[in-house]
Amino acid sequence: MADRPYNVLFLCTGNTARSVLAEGILRKGGAGRFNAFSAGSQLKGTVNPFALKVLDSLGYPTDGFRSKSWDEFAGPDAPVMDFIFTVCDSAAGEACPVWLGHPATAH
Q: What is the pLDDT of residues 46-101, one digit of tens each?
A: 999 999 999 999 999 899 999 999 889 888 888 999 999 988 765 455 555 555 56
Report the domain count for the chain. Answer: 1
- Averaged pLDDT for residues 13-19: 91
Number of H helices, E strands in the chain: 3, 4
- How confident is the model at residue 28, as a pLDDT? 96
Q: In this structure, is residue 1 part of a structural domain?
A: no
Instruction: Name the burial class of residue 6, with classes exposed (0-12), middle (13-18) and buried (19+) by CB atoms within 10 angstroms of its CB.
Output: middle
What's 78's domain CATH number? 3.40.50.2300
User: pTM for this one?
Assistant: 0.85
Domain carrying residue 11: 6-106
Q: What is the pLDDT of residue 99?
A: 57
